[in-house]
Amino acid sequence: MKKGLIIIGVAVLAIVAYFVIAENKDQDEPEANKPVARTGKAHSQSFNANTAGMMQDYYKLKAALVAWDTPGINTAIATLVKSMDNVVLDSASTGSTAFNKTKTHAGTLMQAVGIENQRKAFSSLSVSLFTFLQEEEYSAGKVYKQECPMAFYDTVAAWWLSDNSEIINPYLGMQHPRYKNAMLHCGEVKDSVAFAALP
């Protein structure tokens, strides 16, 4: 009996010692070994401000698509196109090809007739815009690339960007003819861009 109690006591002490050592190891880990956010490129203040403004106008368009707000969608498209014209690539830029594709998709979006065609153009724009943000190492805030697996005809996927990880689907939205708002949160985060701003 005593021998059994001794074995149990030793085992308990060994477990406690293990956790104490592990905790101290975490506390003593040097700062250099801890992960840090990668710093983005040294863009001009004008580029950073105009790109951030463009993203805010993109998010307004996304919100209008969520709401099935046709007048709001048309207004937001026009505003986004103007915002893109304000973005002038600087000496640190490497995303010119992706940005030109984004502007081409924006032109298609301007000409699109009907909300379904607008959503298709919006998806293409979103994909090239995300590539642009990656290549430019966008640092004004984390951007999430999100996917709806059934955006068109219940089988074709589409993508959008968001400034938070919550899924608010601009393809099925709040007033879908079949699903109403039941599929508003359909989708998942597929990727993200997150660079720290230069000090």
Find, among 84, 152, 81, the residue nearest to 119 by Cα: 152
- Each residue's pLDDT tens digit, 11-65: 444 444 444 444 444 444 344 444 445 778 899 999 999 999 999 999 999 999 9
H runs (alpha helix) in 87-171: 96-111, 115-136
**Alpha carbons 25 and 133: distance in angstroms, whole number:** 38
What angle (nearest 5°) sits at the alpha carbon of residue 175, between those of residues 170 and 61? 35
Judge if pTM exceeds 0.85. no
C-alpha distance from residue 97 to each of 10, 77, 94, 131 (Å): 66, 21, 8, 10
The token pair at 163 is 């400034």
- Each residue's pLDDT tens digit, 71-111: 999 999 999 999 999 999 999 999 999 999 999 999 999 99
Find, among 70, 71, 171, the residue nearest to 126 by Cα: 171
193: left (phi over 0), alpha (psi -120 to 50) or beta: beta
Q: Residue 155: phi, psi to the nearest 5?
A: -135, -20
Contact at 8 Å (CB) between 143 and 163? yes
The token pair at 37 is 């956010």
